[in-house]
Amino acid sequence: VKTASRSLYYLQHGGRIIWIVCLLVLILAGVVYPLSAPEARYAMLNTQGQYYLHRTNSLDGLTYLATDSANPGDYDAIRWLNANVSGDSVIVEAIGDDYSNAGRISAFTGLPTPMGWIGHELQWRINWFNKTGNATEFQRRGSDVDTIYKSSDPATVLSLMAHYNAQYLYVGPVEYAKYPTVNLHRYSTFMQVVYNAEGVTIYKVR
């Protein structure tokens, strides 16, 4: 009887020890990522051409823009938008590939935009759960944003802005780079200039 009781005791407590060991292993495994990821991500800066991030030892995701010579003016323009535009006002900005500077205005202000990074929009709006019915809308939005920047017809531009309930249009370094042959100053003839500094102009529908 004593032998059986002793065996049962060790079986019960041995199982508890096994669970504790497994739990510790899981906790330690979870600690690996937060300890190793920052170093791995920092090492990627050179390979991805993001040298400017070396100058920003901060958890503030907006800080790097203050020293990003490739996109001068965006930092102050974003701060202006955050200080002067509230609510869910829609802003149009150039569309671009994943992990590019496109979509930066919406990301750092929280203002909605008709379309974000192409790959991410495709992944979440169409590929996820195989929502092929969204493909037409996906293509239309990309085309519409292009038209807003390319069309020389004010009525067409304003009609598309109204379709997306967009009050603001952003023209900065990314837009100039994407549409180098387009006159991006023409909006001042039919929209209100609410911000103009350091190569960035923000227009508002009158």
- What tens digit of pLDDT does each residue of 67-76 get? 788 888 999 9
Q: What is the pLDDT of residue 70?
A: 80
Residues of the chain with confidence (pLDDT) below 50: none
Q: What is the pLDDT of residue 46?
A: 67
Q: What is the pLDDT of residue 185?
A: 97
Which residue type sits at 42?
A: Y
DSSP 58: S
DSSP 114: S
CA-CA distance, 197 to 85, in Å (whole number)? Answer: 17
Q: What backbone phi and psi angles, to 5 degrees, belong to 76?
A: -70, -35
Q: What is the pLDDT of residue 53?
A: 62
- The H or E element containing residue 92 is strand 90-92
Q: What is the pLDDT of residue 68?
A: 80
Q: What is the pLDDT of residue 65?
A: 85
Q: What is the pLDDT of residue 119?
A: 92
pTM of the predicted structure, to 2 decimals: 0.77
CA distance to 1, 12, 16, per residue, from 6 (Å): 9, 10, 15
Tens-place pLDDT, residues 46-56: 666 665 566 66
Residues 164-190 as b or e (16 or more Cβ within 10 Å = b): bebbbbbbbbbbeebeeeeebeebeee
